[in-house]
Amino acid sequence: MIRGFLLSIVLLAGACLPAAAQQSALLPFLVQSICLDAAGRPEPGLLPFEPGCTRRAPQRQDAPMPYRRHDWPAAQQARSIPQGYQASDAVLGSLLGVPAAVQTFDFGAGENRRFGTHDRGRGDGGQVIPLGPGPSFIAMTEDAGGGVQWFLSPDCRSGGRGWQGWLLAGPGAGDAWTTRVMRLRIAPSPQACPTAFDASLTRFRRTRLALPWREAATGQTGSITVDAIVSEHYGGADIATAHHLERFVLARDLGMVRWERWENAAVTRDAELPRQAERLRQQQRCPALSVSTAPGPGWFLRDCRFWTNFVRAAPGQPLAALPWPPRDLR
């Protein structure tokens, strides 16, 4: 185990990062950091925002992990399920040979699911963001409902990869919203270039916010102030007529820490939305953030994941990221 930790340092050194990763100004917001001691060795259990963390490096997918990020359990289940329902790793990996930020979704509660194992078809999966200069885009995802899916843009019609559909953010994010209407469509493979595309209003901004966090082992909670990027992806060309909103919060040195799903009652016509939103509020598994506000009248928060429930590795017992995507897609 110790030899594995030492070997990981060679892999984690900044000079050894792929060129595309070094060029990505958004890398610190897409990939979680680990803490290094004076000799350049990972500090088991130390979190990147804690006082003892003075040297940091991006976490690689195949390297031992000093900690993992889990979601918050509902208040009613905090004692019985202290590690929550889903772990999410924000790690440096690859997609079809291209360096990428890999954000995994690893269920470990119920339905015979286990943390650290790719329980195919039971919700495990994630999303992948190829790295390089310029804006960041989600190119591929996997979930229980749709399996592996690709977000393709019109660029695939002219011989490109078509990976510029689901925009997350650009390197020049500031206090004000940067807004674009993107065109994309879901496809079953990167070769299945669609003949038509859908419009999606996308906007992002950078801000500082108070971020609640939780100690999985004890249930103790705290709050830190983080530098964050907020990214919003709408199911339509404008807010008033969009069916839904997916909001992401990307915290520096922690990666994607929050996902929110909002729905527009004026479009969905779902009478259950207010009750679902109230049930989610009562569960307390997504403490309110300053950016967790409705984008307009009649919008309700339907679902949320908040991955700041930390599980720490013990000395000599490193943790491991979910082995996803499958090897043939890396």
Query: What's the DSSP call for residue 219?
Result: -
CA angle 56, 59, 61 (to 5 degrees): 170
At residue 6, the pLDDT reads 40
At residue 10, the pLDDT reads 37
Domains in the chain: boundaries: 2-326
132's torsion region: left (phi>0), alpha (psi -120 to 50) or beta?
left
Instruction: Please check whether residue 262 is in contact with residue 286, taking contact to mean a CB–CB distance below 8 angstroms.
Output: no
How many CB atoms within 10 Å of residue 270? 14
At residue 89, the pLDDT reads 98
Query: What does each of the 330 residues of the chain score in pLDDT, given as a tens digit?
Result: 443 444 344 344 444 688 888 878 999 999 999 999 999 999 999 999 999 999 999 999 999 999 999 999 999 999 999 999 999 999 999 999 999 999 999 999 888 899 999 988 888 999 999 999 999 999 999 987 788 999 999 999 999 999 999 999 999 999 999 999 999 999 999 999 999 999 999 999 999 999 999 999 999 999 999 999 999 999 999 999 999 999 999 999 999 999 999 999 999 999 999 999 999 999 999 999 999 999 999 999 999 999 999 999 999 999 999 999 999 999
Instruction: Please check whether residue 64 is in contact with residue 5, taking contact to mean a CB–CB distance below 8 angstroms.
Output: yes
The token duo for 231 is 């990214």
At residue 299, the pLDDT reads 98
At residue 3, the pLDDT reads 39
How far apart are the C-alpha atoms of 182 and 197, rounded to whole Å?
Answer: 9
User: For the chain, what's the residue count?
Assistant: 330
Query: What's the DSSP call for residue 38?
Result: T
Residue 221 dihedral angles phi and psi, to the nearest 5°: -125, 160
Which amino acid type is present at position 105? F
Q: For tokens 């591929």, name the residue.
A: 140
